[in-house]
């Protein structure tokens, strides 16, 4: 198969469990180069678990995860960053006792080139982080920590950026700012897979979407079709 038609991320038959309890029952999902794909669904549907499987911090029981054709399912978690996957996790998971600038620099831990220009870019996207750059990250407000988690993921200069609930805990004006950043990242060639509670906002900037329920993909399609789908409107868009 030619390089250009190979999807950037291709997941087939993915199963994962916490102890004896299986939470992902065979997920199939693809993300093509340059796309924004949104994953929507209720709490406990397995969206976060799926994201963690992709970045490697959650073990999988079966299935394949291919990045540009290469099966990475057996690669250890710390090897995935240098393969081009960055993950802004649910709950932010910042380094609370390290400074804001140290947090950002750690986002580029696997890189051997100079981090300065990208750090400058993150400060341009989120100017508040520049003002707080020397302060411990644990002292930031929830919204600022969310920006830091996204900024840290950007610092990895990923091919595939996983964003888990990027708008969680943000004031509405900041939600708009974060979604504007997401769109600008795509314009710069980053491919995005995004989990969102805010299904309408997530689908309105996405190219395609997947709906997850109880560990399975129940619906997928173009984002514009999903927004118009009466089942989605009723279940997730409150219409």
Residue 149's SS3 state is: helix
Please identify, among the stretches 116-124, 141-149, 181-189, 228-236, the one whose residues bind other proteins according to the rule CB under 8 A.
141-149
Instruction: Tell the smallest beta-carbon distance from residue 133 to other proteins (Å).
Output: 16
Per CB under 8 A, the list member of 42, 57, 205, 237 interacting with other proteins is 57
Please identify, among the stretches 11-19, 76-84, 116-124, 220-228, the one whose residues bind other proteins according to the rule CB under 8 A.
76-84
Per DSSP, helices labelled H in 42-198 are 47-55, 77-83, 100-107, 116-125, 127-131, 142-155, 172-187
Per CB under 8 A, the list member of 67, 94, 190, 203 interacting with other proteins is 94
Q: Which is nearer to other proteins, 65 or 232 (CB)?
A: 65
Residues 98-137 that bind other proteins (CB under 8 A): 98, 102, 105-110, 136
Q: Which is nearer to other proteins, 152 or 208 (CB)?
A: 152
Q: Which is nearer to other proteins, 97 or 234 (CB)?
A: 97
Exposure b/e, 189-222, CB count within 10 A at least 16 = b: ebbbbbbbebbebbbebbbbbbbbeebebebbee
Per CB under 8 A, the list member of 89, 151, 166, 215 interacting with other proteins is 89
Please identify, among the stretches 1-9, 14-22, 90-98, 200-208, the one whose residues bind other proteins according to the rule CB under 8 A.
90-98
> What is the rounded distance in angstroms from the CA atom of residue 37 to the CA atom of residue 191?
8
Estimate the crossing angle of helix 116-125 against helix 142-155, to 10 degrees.
Answer: 150
Q: Which is nearer to other proteins, 99 or 220 (CB)?
A: 99
> What is the rounded distance in angstroms from the CA atom of residue 92 to the CA atom of residue 166?
9
Place of tokens 């380094």: 95
Per DSSP, helices labelled H in 126-196 are 127-131, 142-155, 172-187
- DSSP letter for 185, please: H
Instruction: Tell the smallest beta-carbon distance from residue 170 to other proteins (Å).
Output: 14
Instruction: Tell the smallest beta-carbon distance from residue 216 to other proteins (Å).
Output: 25
Q: Output the six-digit token pair for 217.
A: 């993909």
Does position 152 interact with other proteins (CB under 8 A)? The reply is yes
* Interface residue list for other proteins (CB under 8 A): 55-57, 76-82, 86-87, 89, 93-98, 102, 105-110, 136, 138-142, 145, 152, 156
């Amino acid at each position: 198969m030619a390089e250009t038609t190979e999807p950037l991320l291709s997941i087939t038959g993915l199963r994962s469990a916490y102890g004896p309890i299986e939470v992902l029952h065979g997920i199939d999902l693809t993300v093509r180069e340059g796309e924004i794909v949104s994953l929507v669904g209720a709490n406990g549907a397995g969206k976060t678990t799926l994201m963690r499987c992709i970045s490697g911090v959650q073990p999988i029981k079966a299935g394949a995860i291919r990045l540009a054709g290469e099966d990475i399912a057996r690669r250890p978690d710390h090897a995935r960053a240098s393969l081009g996957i960055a993950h802004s996790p649910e709950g932010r998971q910042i380094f609370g006792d390290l400074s804001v600038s140290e947090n950002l620099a750690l986002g580029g831990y696997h890189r051997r080139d100079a981090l300065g220009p990208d750090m400058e870019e993150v400060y341009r996207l989120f100017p508040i982080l520049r003002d707080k750059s020397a302060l411990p990250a644990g002292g930031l407000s929830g919204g600022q920590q969310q920006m830091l988690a996204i900024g840290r993921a950007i610092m990895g200069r990923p091919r595939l950026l996983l964003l888990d609930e990027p708008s969680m805990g943000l004031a509405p004006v900041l939600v708009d700012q974060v979604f504007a950043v997401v769109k600008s990242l795509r314009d710069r060639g980053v491919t995005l897979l995004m989990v969102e509670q805010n299904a309408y906002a997530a689908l309105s900037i996405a190219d395609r979407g997947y709906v997850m329920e109880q560990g399975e993909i129940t619906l997928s399609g173009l984002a514009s079709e999903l927004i118009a789908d009466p089942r989605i409107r009723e279940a997730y868009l409150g219409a």
